[in-house]
Amino acid sequence: MLRAPLPFISALLAAGVLAGCSTTTEDKTANWSPNRIYSEAKDEMNSGGYDKAVPLFEKLEGRAAGTPLAQQAQLDKAYAHYKAGEKAQAVATLDRFMKLHPASPALDYALYLKGLVNFNDNLGMFSWLSRQDLSERDQKAAKDSFESFSELSTRFPDSRYAQDARQRMTYIVNSLAQYEVHVARYYYQRGAYVAAISRAQVAVADYQGVPAVEEALYILMQSYDALGMAQLRDDTRRVMDASYPQSEYTRTGFKGKSDPWWKFW
């Protein structure tokens, strides 16, 4: 049997050791106190280094397990994910926090932040460039956001975050109603009058008292007219005249695509 020369074997072993050393990442936080880790993580986050802050908060969770500082690290990690645009990770972190700490005094903030994550996800980073408002986007995030804000307002009505949550809930309801109207208008403009009636009726029935109902009634009236349903058209016209006597829709028709009805928060 042939044997490799000893010098060659030694060289291979040395190379293996060096390779192993080169792939080992030194933990610079090994000798840091929990307070120092937290301070460094906050510094990274305050300077916009959210991707660097997250692993520091994760280390702190382990080092300070069972302490209020570890709980704070979880919340700050969720916020860092949120600011980095990592919605799924932020929500998962918050869900874990609420499951592990159901009696935490910061539970109201966790609910608020979860609502905020979905609220801004629904808004979309570049929607203002395309002039596309919330009503024209997928509504699942808006509904998830509403649920979080609603739970916060119900369970913690005196929370410092409750008033803002209630305002956002009103905004979301308007958005959901406007979404139905947006779809109804889409169908109407393409001659799908039965479908337009169906979606407009949802807005009228489910979102009473919101601005979008005015256009929903107009779409109903016009769709009934297009289908030759004179009685329903006239009934809807009477409701519209009573509810919106100064309506621009009955005078000039559909509004042009101007500035959106919503505003950035």
Averages of pLDDT over each 10 residues, the chain, 265 residues? 48 49 68 92 94 94 92 96 94 96 96 92 42 57 93 97 95 89 93 96 91 95 96 96 92 61 41
Predicted confidence at residue 29, as pLDDT, reads 83
8-state DSSP, 200: H
Q: Residues 94-101: contacts with CB within 8 Å, 24+ apart?
A: 97/71, 101/71
Q: Supply 165's token pair.
A: 């949550």
Predicted confidence at residue 28, as pLDDT, reads 85
pTM for this prediction: 0.74
For residues 106 and 75, give the distance between their C-alpha atoms in angstroms, rounded to a whole number. Answer: 9
Predicted confidence at residue 136, as pLDDT, reads 52
Predicted confidence at residue 111, as pLDDT, reads 98
| Under 8 Å between Cβ of 77 and 97 | no
Predicted confidence at residue 253, as pLDDT, reads 82
23: how many CB neighbours lie within 10 A of its CB? 6
For residues 150 and 169, give the distance between their C-alpha atoms in angstroms, rounded to a whole number. Answer: 7
- In terms of residues, how long is the chain? 265
CA dihedral 119, 124, 130, 135 (to 10 degrees): -30
